[in-house]
Amino acid sequence: MFLSARRVFKSLLTGLVAAQLAFAPMSSAHAQRSVPVVRDAEIEALVRDYARPILEAAGLSRSNIEIILVNDPAFNAFVAGRRMFINTGALLQSETPNEIIGVIAHEAGHIAGGHQQRLRDQLAAAQTMAIVAGLIGIGAAVGGAASGTGGLAQAGAGLAMGGGEVARRGLLSYQRTEEITADRSAITYLEKTGQSARGMVRTFERMASGLALTGRQIDPYQISHPLPRERIQNVQELAQASQYYNREDPPALQRRHDMMRAKIAAHTQGQSATSRLFRDTQGMPARYGDAIVTYLSGSPAAALQKVDALVAAEPNNPYFHELRGEVLIRANRPQDAVTAFERAARLDSSNSGFMQFGLGQALLAAGGPDAAGRAVDALTQGLARAPEYVTAYRYLAQAYGQMGEIAEAELATAEGHYYSGNFREARQFAARAQSRLMPGSPSHVRAQDIINQRPAN
């Protein structure tokens, strides 16, 4: 289940800068931002597996670092507080696990070094759009100078107009040193985990050669990560000095990486991009991408045939059963979809909430005497693991509604509004729910929490 949604983040100013959203309206450092996120059990489990050893090596395994996948085709990654944001474009463009692990290691270096926190403080002190625009201009100008593309430097100069000169100079020197520090930290983490830094070099080279530029558009990763020549050279020398430089990713990991890329391409780039991705057109990743494209293009019968072949080849792959469940819902066979999602949930060792969301949705579609109650169980379990996934509250409200539990339905609706950032509506529904709930009950307490919430804090 590859779900695209929007998620609200408070005070995401550093993210804003890196994501080049400086033209969005923003009144203060505490502005709320809605970011297009991707939720998917398979991709999330893989990226977590990439990040786990790196975060441990960085001393961050107990820091509750949350990784958020941003639905954006540009190559980008950035951190804000304890959150690491990775674009689907970065996952798709990285041909090996090692390349994206290098990106994760670099961003972990920023978190461990407390870099972005300082940037955020500086920006909060500056608090004007001009400074933010100036910062982006600086990044673009440096990137342009490094790669020698006049257009990029010009774009940077254009953007840089209006920022305070002193603030700009301060941020520029800060940014350079912190990029170099983050690179060094990244290489240390890779070394500690027995991995090569070759992927980092490959990513840098791709950026420096200008391949990451699409037309006149500036790649946001280049803006947030200026690449002077000496920086690339440093990384290359350190990478080559390692005994692990030539170590390849384990084949099983490369396979999971390819499956992920197939899925992202199928969902975001369409058929032709997906079929161009792999040389081996009969390999599992190519067939997986083809099956997803067929499902998305709206031919459930054809998709089911392809997914059944995948399941026959790998009966214990949870994501094949998950896809099969989705196809079966579209084929109007919800009862079979229930069985498919139940299997997917059993096989999924990462215990993703998204298998439960699929199951809940299928149960609601299937109907029957105990379906609504089972849907409530599945959706509640899923939401315990992914509480900010707002669509699931709609299904939960529907399931409670079918059971005649109006107060719980209203509370679920309140939760959905709460996690969407619609605090006024959230309070309204929470108050309505509360009028029907017993004081002191867990639901009553939760409704009160929502009513008390003041989003600005």
Residues that bind Zn ion (CB under 5 A): 179, 182, 225
The CB-of-300 to Zn ion minimum distance in angstroms stands at 44
Burial class (CB in 10 A: 0-12, 13-18, 19+), 332: exposed
CB-nearer residue toward Zn ion: 139 or 163: 139
Neighbours of 231 (CB within 10 A): 18
String of DSSP letters for 387-446:
TT-THHHHHHHHHHHHTT-HHHHHHHHHHHHHHHT-HHHHHHHHHHHHHHSPTTSHHHHH
Non-local CB neighbours of 209 within 8 Å, separated by 6+ positions:
147
**Comparison of 100 and 182: residue with beta carbon closer to Zn ion:** 182
Output the smallest distance, CB 116 to Zn ion, in A: 9
- What proportions of the chain, in percent to the nearest 5, are helix, strand and coil? 65, 5, 25
> What is the smallest separation between the CB atom of 182 and Zn ion, expressed in angstroms?
5
Using alpha carbons only, what angle is made at residue 350 by residues 253 and 197, rounded to the nearest 5 degrees?
Answer: 30
- Comparing CB distances to Zn ion, the nearer of 127 and 177 is 177
Distance CA(429)–CA(422), nearest Å, equals 11
C-beta of 41 vs 77, nearer to Zn ion: 77
- Pick between residue 106 and residue 306 the one whose CB is nearest to Zn ion: 106
CA distance 433 to 427: 10
Residue among 81, 75, 78 nearest 99 (CA): 75
Query: What's the min distance (Å) between Cβ of 175 and Zn ion?
Result: 8
Looking at the Cβ atoms of 112 and 362, the one nearer to Zn ion is 112
Angle subtended at Cα 265 by Cα 268 and Cα 12, rounded to the nearest 5 degrees? 55
**Which residue type, as a one-letter code, is found at position 103?**
V
User: In this complex, which beta carbon is closest to Zn ion, that of residue 77 or of residue 378?
Assistant: 77
Question: What minimum distance in Å lies between the beta carbon of 69 and Zn ion?
Answer: 18
Question: Which of residues 76 and 413 has its CB atom nearest to Zn ion in the complex?
Answer: 76
Nearer to Zn ion, 98 or 185 (CB): 185
Residue 252 neighbours by CB under 8 Å, 6+ apart = none
**Min CB(397)–Zn ion separation in Å:** 42
DSSP state of 271: H
Residue 99 Cβ vs Zn ion, minimum distance, rounded to whole Å: 15
CB of 330 to Zn ion, least distance (A): 41
In angstroms, give the least distance from the CB of 95 to Zn ion.
21
Q: What single string gives the DSSP state of each residue in 91-145?
A: HHH-SSHHHHHHHHHHHHHHHHTTHHHHHHHHHHHH-SHHHHHHHHHHHHHHHHH
Q: How far is the CB of 115 from Zn ion (least distance, A)?
A: 8
Query: For residues 40 and 183, which CB has a smaller minimum distance to Zn ion in the complex?
Result: 183
Largest CA distance in the chain: 69
3-class DSSP state of 354: helix
